[in-house]
Amino acid sequence: MTDKRTAILEATLTLISERGFHNTPMSLIAKASGVSAGIIYHYFANKEALINELYKEIKLEFLRAMLVDYSEDLPLKERFLSIWHNLVNYSLNYPARGVFLEQFENSPFRNHEMDEDVIQVTASFFQLFQQGVEEEVFTSLPPLVLFDLSFAPAIALVKRHLAGFVEMDDDLMQAAAIACWKAITI
């Protein structure tokens, strides 16, 4: 069954987000998942494969969450704001996921290859920024640059909130989202 696999992945996510990769022994993952240590190796080749698989799944889930209610039929600004708010809301609702992603992506574990699934989801962002540039709404910069100008502050602010240094309420979200919109528009 996939039950155990899921339990293992969930325990790994929680533990790693709280304790870090190397302070999370396989034995602890086993205990937290309610399985034996040995069976983890039935589902994953080794610890690294487990973590990489977890990263892929969480990354994909995260990107998809950014695109909830997204439609290319909506105006650019609405699309932009929807993504922005989705990103922040999801990060606030599932803080372990964001923490895990940031930890992974800033660690030497990272492997810059992207899954086919991830590339596909990413295409929507690419299209958004491409279109904005073509319609001369956005500054003429590579999509990845526009992406970072748009969303790097969002992630940074969520971290500030989780660390207790900033109170992320609706007003702040609105204001910050608008600020990012201003950053990329002409």
Own/partner contacts of 129-132, CB < 8 Å, gap of 24 or more, are 129/184, 131/76, 132/76, 132/184, 132/185
103 vs 132: CA distance, rounded Å? 31
- In angstroms, what is the minimal distance from the CB of 71 to a copy of itself? 26
- In angstroms, what is the minimal distance from the CB of 118 to DNA? 24
User: For residues 20 and 14, is the Cβ–Cβ distance under 8 A?
Assistant: no
By a kind-dependent CB cut-off of 5 to 8 A, residue 149 interacts, out of DNA, a copy of itself, none, with a copy of itself
- Residues 17, 24, 82, 86: which binds DNA (CB under 7 A)? 24
- Residues 69, 109, 123, 136: which binds a copy of itself (CB under 8 A)? 109
Residue 27 touches DNA, criterion: CB under 7 A = yes
**Residues numbered 35-54 forming contacts with DNA, rule: CB under 7 A:** 35-39, 41-42, 46-48
- Residues 4, 7, 10, 21: which binds a copy of itself (CB under 8 A)? 21
Residue 20 touches DNA, criterion: CB under 7 A = no
User: Tokens standing for 93?
Assistant: 């609702």
- In angstroms, what is the minimal distance from the CB of 39 to DNA? 4
Q: Is 71 exposed, middle or buried (0-12, 13-18, 19+ CB in 10 A)?
A: exposed
* Residue 169: strand, helix, or coil: coil
Residue type, 145: V
**Residues numbered 136-175 forming contacts with a copy of itself, rule: CB under 8 A:** 139, 141-142, 144-145, 148-149, 152-153, 155-157, 160, 163-166, 172, 175
User: Tokens standing for 106?
Assistant: 């800033």
